[in-house]
Amino acid sequence: MWVVLMDSSTSQRRIIHIDCDCFFASVEQLDDPSLANHPMAVGGASARAVLTTANYAARAFGVHSAMPTWQAKKKCPQLIIKPVRMQRYQEVSRMVMAVLRSHCDAFEQVSVDEAYLDVSQYYQDYGSATELAKWLQKEVQEQTGISVSAGISHNKLLAKLASDFRKPGGTTTIAPDKSLQFLQPLSLKKLPGVGPKTYQKLADNGMYTCADAWSIDESVAMSLGNFAERLSQMSQGIDHRPVMAIRERKSVGVERTFNQDIATLAEIINTALSLVPAAHQRLAGKSFHHITVKLKFNNFQITSATASSHELNPEIISALCKTAWHRQTLPVRLIGLQCHLGDGPMQLPLAL
């Protein structure tokens, strides 16, 4: 049997979870304000299709994500259904995330419409993490037109449960000494990893709320396997996971190492140019703003030359080969070609 233990080791952290309200529907309303206040959903219009989401006016009729369109229409005959425009949602998502990313110590985007912010240091100028969260909500609304809900606590799990607590537009804070009070009546369905099957299994054993999982009978724990311990911890609000910045890929490159060193500039240029088709393949249409030629000499020293360019232009590549090679004019054992992704500026790599 597991028993409740207070978890104090992570109580000093300040984590904010932000989740956009009815995200795809909000973007549609942003682009066509006449849709606001009218029950509306985003998804396929055919009888066999399903909805991706619905605005809050539609939710009042019982319409929700993953509901078949025919069923939603039955519940709400006046429902307007807009087709999915994924590219547009990604574009708005990038704008929302750009605002959030620049106001925290560490940032982790976890889906198209939600992110964790570690603000353990950053919050101090705002008085409290809750004040910072409110400020961020206003900032996102003003800069992008999107309404978001915020959850504030000392770990990711509680922050996420909190952001879901008062949607739309809610700000919910769970202080460390109030976490068990918050969790006690909370349905086990709300915990990550508790799907319909697991919930049914728990309900069959008389477990419905987090409080019911504060002590788990040995027989139930056995039937849950490894998940029993995780469930016990989540039900007590224990979560040590850090907010992890997932680094975006910043460059795409190809390189070739030779069995025999290449000794002339003409060969170096030809080889660099022969890498262009492979580079295009790896780029898969992504835009870039600088290109770099990298050379490794037979003394194992590496040098590179970079130029501003949005295309793999042969003249620029040739010039970069020349610049890099003239630094040592030695035979070369490796040639690489790199494209720096995005549209913005970059820090130039230091030359040898």
Q: Which of Mg ion, ligand TTP, none does residue 65 bind to, with CB < 5 to 8 Å depending on kind?
A: ligand TTP
| φ and ψ of 73, to 5 deg | -65, -35
**Span near ligand TTP by CB under 6 A; candidates 21-29, 195-203, 206-214, 309-317:** 21-29
Q: Which of ligand TTP, Mg ion, none does residue 163 bind to, with CB < 5 to 8 Å depending on kind?
A: none
Rg, the chain, Cα only: 27
| C-beta closer to ligand TTP: residue 172 or 232 | 172
Site for ligand TTP in 95-154 (CB under 6 A): 112-113
Sequential DSSP letters for 103-170:
SSSEEEEEETTEEEEE-TTGGGGGSSHHHHHHHHHHHHHHHH---EEEEEESSHHHHHHHHTTTTTT-
Number of residues engaging ligand TTP in binding (CB under 6 A): 14
> CA 209, CA 306: separation in Å to the nearest integer?
59
Count of beta carbons in the 10 Å neighbourhood of residue 25: 28
> CA 89, CA 166: separation in Å to the nearest integer?
23
Residue 20 binds ligand TTP, judged by CB under 6 A: yes
Site for Mg ion in 100-129 (CB under 5 A): 113
Binding mask 148-187 for ligand TTP (x = CB under 6 A): -------------------xx-------------------
Q: Which of ligand TTP, Mg ion, none does residue 66 bind to, with CB < 5 to 8 Å depending on kind?
A: ligand TTP
Residue 24 binds ligand TTP, judged by CB under 6 A: yes
Choosing from 15, 16, 18, 20, the residue that interacts with Mg ion (CB under 5 A) is 20
Choosing from 10, 29, 53, 235, the residue that interacts with ligand TTP (CB under 6 A) is 53
Cβ contacts of 126 within 8 Å, gap of 6 or more: 132, 135
Catalytic entry in 28, 114, 131, 311:
114
Is residue 114 flagged as an active site residue? yes
> Is the CB of residue 35 less than 8 Å from the CB of residue 26?
no
Cβ contacts of 72 within 8 Å, gap of 6 or more: 41, 51, 54, 58, 63, 79, 81
Give the binding site for ligand TTP (CB under 6 A).
19-24, 52-53, 65-66, 112-113, 167-168
Give the binding site for Mg ion (CB under 5 A).
19-20, 23, 113
